[in-house]
Structure 1
Amino acid sequence: MTIGIKNAVMLDQNGQLVPTEIMIDKGIIQSIRCGETLVLDGNQGTNEWIDAKGALVTPGLIDVHVHLREPGFSDKETIKSGTMAAARGGFTTICAMPNVNPVPDTVEKMIAIQEKIKKDAVIKVLQYAPITKGLKSDYLTDQQALLDAGAFAFTNDGVGVQTAGTMYKAMVESKKNDTTIVAHTEDDSLLFSGVMHEGTRNKQLGLPGILSITEASQIARDVLISEATGARYHVCHVSTKESVRVIRDAKRAGINVTAEVTPHHLLLSEEDIPADSSIYKMNPPLRGKKDQEALILGLLDGTIDMIATDHAPHTKAEKSNGMVGSPFGITGSETAFSLLYTYLVEPGIVTLAQLISWLTVKPASVFRLNTGILEEGYPADIALFDLKTEKEILEKEFLSKATNTPFIGWTVKGTTVLTIVDGKVVYKKES
């Protein structure tokens, strides 16, 4: 089926929005015409024209850090609901974390989850395998066998790898297998039952804090191991100024390290937590104002490579027990682009070109993906965003099974109009 997109705009090389038409055939981008007076001809074998009505067209967004919760926790989210939510956010490729039940730490379990993805996902899902068996052990998984079974990369997200020896052996294997170690960095011995950032707000609320060095100390350990082994090492959800400093120094030293930051860590700090509210409980926690500023600067100077949501859905019942009694986690798939566009691009903190790059080009480049590319001859993974209309983020409109986010009620621009995967419309905003 041939599809034409008309009346869209896209960024040109000068950062200007220019009129654009795109032709898609058999799931592939056949032509992109822009920057000129366009004349449509609906009689050239086009089965369907999509009128973008002035919306921005971008490559389909890529999220390298998502929790789909299935198998094992389908009351929180499923592969189907999680991918529908991602499609609503303009994402066409997401990478699913392995902290599910059963953990996909064997070939049989990996094949089973891949089959479930193939059956239920409405967008492209790349499945992580765990670094160690069961996530919390010191026994390495069989990386090559899991890669052969379809694993995307390796991570123990949700828990840090606690021993340097285990991380060293994992990186030696990853170098041999030409894959990436993706790290949730958290030293359990420094947690002290904390539930939010150890700063000023936790003291005001009388809640135990999480030290910044809980995260930064493991990054410091791991970048040296990466240097020693030559392994590719990627840091999840960077949250502290100390972590940014360590990563910046490592990059300057030529170490093969990359990093991501979440929308919520860019847009919120501990000062935004109004009370003992679990809706603000996430791991890593919202940090201090200086940390927030360091994260933005880290993106701008290239220390941090990309933005990822860490979409972590939970049920309302789970999130009803305050900071101490509720699980860590915040949803993010459906709100990421609109929030970042409204509160970073519109005020002039970052450019639209930078935002699109951090959500498409950079993750595709770092993880060597054939997605996130809006060019002729590539898969037609495309998103359209309305940059003009203001809209309130409403809980009732979520496609995720979960709504544990403090951004409900915020006013945004840049909501998703349409999402296309391999030439097929997978999400269309209701009029």
Structure 2
Amino acid sequence: MTVSKVCQDAAEASAVVTQLTTEQKDRLLLDMASAIEQHQDAIIEANARDVAAAREAGVSATLVDRLTMTERRMAGLTRAIRTIVDLPDPVGQVVNGWTRPNGLLIERVREPLGVVAVIYEARPNVTAEVAALCLKSGNCAVLRGSSMAMETNRAIMAALDTAIAEHPDVPAAAVQLIDDPSREAALELMRAKGYVDLLVPRGGAELIASVEQNATVPTVIDGAGNCHLYIDGTADRDIATAVTVNAKTSRPSVCNAIETLLVHRDLAADWLPGVLDALAEAGVEIRGCAAVREVWPKAVAAREEDWGTEYLDLVLAVRVVADADEAIAHIRRWGTSNAEGIVARDIDIARRFVRQVDSGSVFVNTSTRYSDGGEFGYGVEIGVSTQKLHVRGPMGLEALTTVKNVVWGTGQTRVVA
């Protein structure tokens, strides 16, 4: 089936999916979670083939980690789908309302976008997570994964298809997987104007650039995560150490891990060497400025490009700064509006940092690793928006809806002045 036909079928199916009741959607999601559990062995076997092929092709350890589906990650996937079932259905929610002097009642009501498409790389869990988010929010899902995860994606989609087939009130085209990994197929999806209501790319710089240059459908960019953590001179040192180590080492291959550590000069001599020792023990390569290398000579000299690199690996750029203002200026220059953090006991400094840092999520005295739809209470996320329209930060159910103005009257007619 061509990409155009997939999108056309999704657009037609959306007329039905947008009208599904909360009960219908929740029953389907529960059956999807059960189907994934029932097909778990087949999914893990398919994933093993993808992982083996990726390793043979010399794919980086970071991408292999993203690709791998263990029993633990499978359990997390089904748990996330069931969490979505427990979340309030955004469709039909009255966001606000007011009465005009002429008696008209104006309501702003949430409704589905229609057809949501996602292009994603190496993350087979996205196949099920996006399907669940889209269905709960009344949308059809068009999924286009990469060749690296194709076997796993097909196995997950086969499980989802069995669940959907048990619900005659849900069109088969409610969730579709495009199994053509070619660039031409991706371009066709980017240009499916009139059928696709929102496209979310989840991948590297090359994919994002292609979408920005070629897409004619509305997009929300899930961009790079060059995340920073600033340790202020007023920071609690134990908290600063714990947050720094967690934000870098708990899972370095994801976009909410920090790539640059900015440290107030008052902490350079006595606190910084200890935390760099702890990071080095965890296998982190330190690339530091001259002030960092002066107090910790084992650091590699940081180059200009290090400040703008999303390593997605056990590598950390470290810079000593004069104060919060210099840290904020650095983030403005190099940040990607994904997630930024500060550790500080001075509440005024923390508040100024929050106000002035341009990012979808800002963390105070806690790890940037919490920049995640599940941690925010969204169940899962369809992506992390690094732009400002129409949504920002981790994207949950509400991000997949729009607002309709509903006006209630009692026969009022407008008088032309």
TM over 0.5: no
**Which has the higher Rg, Structure 1 or Structure 2?**
2
* TM-score (structure 2 length as normaliser): 0.30
